């Protein structure tokens, strides 16, 4: 057992136990309310495993959609939770700092375009590709790189098999809990939630002593985003320090991941908010 370890948990939803379609994860859709207990249970499993292995403090950051998905009344009362979307400069890892020892990514999904990965995308469906210093990454890689700027390693990821494979490429030694195997973007071979609870709890316990290193990106850091439309690329380039390098692609270079991320995140939000609305796939 380890002692005096502070854990940060970032919670997405597409990688939760049993989730396979947009109707499962978009508020107001048919099965959304059935999925909220599933992701809450996954998070509780990670919390329980961490605490049984010696975690003394756990901070949970909601990181899906409007970032108000967990059932707070069902969540372990020992943790604090950051909720809400607007104003989060670090988005999915809002609240991370150098005082944390471990990051857990719970309910994560694979990057845009990953064959056979459940609900694969990168932030918005209009983002086609995302690179950090030439490495193609998804939301898990972005979270790992931002946490790495503060010297904090990702020690656990839960989700489908494709998501776990991507994270293992970036973070050797990362612990994982595979809650489903992707068949297509909208179908998966799923385990029962009672089974995934045990898998996640055990993986979280192992993650507390896992030999993992922070995912550090050597400066200067260049972040690039390729959108699906010309208009989004144009809009994104309006943000200072964000350059239009191709008709649908923008770039920002800075001295750290955090400093490159912030203008890019602002550009993505601007482009997504001002472009013509498009239906979900």
Q: CA–CA distance from 180 to each of 104, 152, 206, 227, 229 (Å)?
A: 18, 27, 20, 29, 32
Tokens matching residue 159: 């989700």
43 contact partners, CB below 8 Å, separation of at least 6? 9, 11, 60, 70, 75, 106, 107
Site of tokens 């656990």: 156
Measure the CA–CA gap between 77 and 114, rounded to whole angstroms. 36
Measure the CA–CA gap between 127 and 228, rounded to whole angstroms. 6
Output phi, psi for 177, to 5 deg. -135, 110
Q: Is 65 helix (H, G, I), strand (E, B) or coil?
A: coil
Sign (positive/negative) of CA torsion 15, 266, 71, 148? positive
Neighbours of 276 (CB within 10 A): 7
Tokens matching residue 214: 């922070």
- Sheet containing strand 127-132, strands side by side: 135-136, 127-132, 221-227, 249-254, 243-246
Q: Which residues are catalytic?
A: 121
**Residue 250: which H helix or E strand, with range?**
strand 249-254
Site of tokens 């471990």: 102
């Amino acid at each position: 057992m380890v002692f005096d370890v502070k854990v940060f948990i970032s919670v997405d939803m597409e990688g939760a136990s049993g989730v396979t379609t947009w109707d499962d994860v978009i508020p107001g859709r048919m099965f959304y309310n059935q999925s909220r207990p599933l992701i809450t249970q996954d998070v509780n499993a990670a919390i329980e495993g961490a605490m049984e292995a010696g975690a003394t403090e756990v901070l949970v950051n909601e990181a899906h959609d409007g970032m108000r998905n967990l059932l707070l009344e069902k969540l372990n009362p020992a943790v604090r939770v950051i909720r809400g979307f607007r104003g989060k400069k670090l988005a999915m890892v809002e609240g991370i700092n150098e005082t944390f020892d471990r990051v857990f990514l719970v309910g994560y999904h694979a990057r845009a375009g990953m064959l056979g990965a459940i609900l694969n995308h990168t932030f918005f469906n209009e983002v086609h590709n995302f690179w950090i210093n030439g490495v193609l990454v998804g939301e898990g890689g972005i979270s790992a790189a931002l946490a790495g700027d503060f010297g904090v390693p990702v020690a656990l990821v839960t989700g489908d098999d494709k998501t776990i494979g991507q994270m293992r490429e970036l973070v050797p030694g990362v612990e994982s809990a595979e809650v489903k195997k992707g068949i297509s973007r909208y179908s998966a071979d799923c385990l029962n939630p009672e089974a995934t609870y045990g898998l996640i709890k055990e993986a979280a316990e192992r993650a507390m002593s896992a030999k993992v290193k922070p995912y550090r990106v050597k400066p200067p850091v260049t972040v690039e985003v390729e959108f699906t439309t010309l208009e989004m690329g144009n809009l994104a380039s309006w943000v200072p320090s964000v350059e239009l390098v191709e008709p649908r692609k923008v770039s920002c270079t800075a001295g750290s991941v955090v400093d490159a991320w912030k203008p890019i995140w602002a550009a993505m939000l601007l482009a997504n908010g001002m472009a013509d609305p498009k239906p979900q796939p």
